[in-house]
Amino acid sequence: MNTGKSYAQYLDQQDELKHFRNEFYVSDETIYFDGNSLGLLSKRAEQAVAELMDSWKRYAIDGWTEGHHPWFYLSEKLGDQLAPLVGARPEEVIVTGSTTTNLHQLVASFYRPNGRKTKILADELNFPSDIYALKSQLKLKGYDSSKHLIQVPSNDGNTLKTSDIIANMTDDVALIVLPGVLYRSGQILDMKTLTKEAHKRNILIGFDLCHSIGSIPHHLSDWDVDFAFWCTYKHLNGGPGSVAGLYVNKRHFGHEPGLAGWFSSAKEKQFDMEHHLTPAADAGAYQIGTPHLLSITPLIGALELFQEAGITRIREKSLRLTNYLMELIEAELSSYGFFIANPREAAMRGAHVFIEHQEAARICKALKAAGVIPDFRTPNGIRLAPVPLYNMFAEVWQTVQILKSIMDKGDYKQFENKRGVIA
């Protein structure tokens, strides 16, 4: 392998997405490899917020129906823009809520215990918030989560086997909720196969796409997935606390949502003020409250960049970046105790590299002190996420050199091997 800086610079020269870096506020002082936790601010997202503030100033309450982006229809408009990123029909996607409130909504809507079918199937590697929500929903239905929540075990603590998940699709399972990409190891689950196997057993299935949307292509409608949900502040660069999104397969349209609210209404009926809900005839029915306009607007600008770059090109560059990073780690850092714990195969690897080291917490602190922003995951994991829209191959090369220097000089030893308040 060519480990020289000039090769990294050559790769950057050949990169057809390199001009998108200028669309973002990229610091010259740091290398930002934490875009899988919070994406950087784009200039277009900033401009979109300025335009929203101007519409509030100019139109006041008429902003709901006037201006370039009428607020009353903005969730649906952004859902149309998001649909290609998840491989869905426009009417199957809506921008609303937060990841966890959307999960609560979807489970309240699709978890229908009946007879022996009372259990929910999840996994032991999922993000804790999803498990909290599932346990809560079971409790609300009068079930003991210790008996009615099945969590598929992992053989290595980092990945899941498709065969193990399928083996747990027993005839007492009513609903399955799994991540599209595991947040620690970055493993992509085989959503197509899992959906097919779930439906063979008359089980509804949904996916948490927080770590996959904006980083890999999806085909939810073609796969016949029942529902999905996601945040928009990671790979989609919607900003901290930006409004999330959800998908509902059109074959489930026409039913009232489990958690009904003001914006669950059909648009033309919403202001009739009836005490009987007429739900929207599409994914909009799964909204609850008024859209958070100041937190949804950055997506107007952020999603324009995805439309221009295309998820296929984004994915291709992502694979090149993470493959280059893994090759450099193996070539330069193999003797320092690092272990690459993410899947190597492109079809199973998400958009970040996950390395383990017994001194991971203090190494992350040393990296930050040296100008590289990584992400620590308890107990011994380091996530490095080079983002295709704004990171360069030269930054990958430089990060590995910095990491090597930290280990050679022992710079990490000045830090406590303990996570900060926010890892």
64 annotated as belonging to a binding site for a ligand: no
Tokens 């065969």, residue located: 163
224 annotated as belonging to a binding site for a ligand: no
127 annotated as belonging to a binding site for a ligand: yes
Q: 152 by DSSP, 3-state: which?
A: strand
Q: Which two tokens stand for residue 401?
A: 């050199």
Alpha-helical segments (H) within 162-235 = 162-167, 191-200, 220-223
Burial 354-382 (b: 16+ CB within 10 A, else e): bbbbebbbbbbbbbbebebbbbbbeebbb
Q: Which class for 200: exposed (0-12), middle (13-18), buried (19 or more C-beta within 10 A)? A: exposed
56 annotated as belonging to a binding site for a ligand: no
211 annotated as belonging to a binding site for a ligand: yes
Alpha-helical segments (H) within 15-127 = 43-59, 74-86, 99-110
386 annotated as belonging to a binding site for a ligand: no
110 annotated as belonging to a binding site for a ligand: no
232 annotated as belonging to a binding site for a ligand: no
100 annotated as belonging to a binding site for a ligand: yes
Strand partners for 377: 381
**What number of helices (H) and strands (E) belong to the chain?**
14, 13
d(CA 346, CA 252): 33
99 annotated as belonging to a binding site for a ligand: yes
233 annotated as belonging to a binding site for a ligand: yes
Binding residues: 99-100, 127-130, 208, 211, 233, 262, 290
Binding residues for pyridoxal 5'-phosphate: 99-100, 127-130, 208, 211, 233, 262, 290
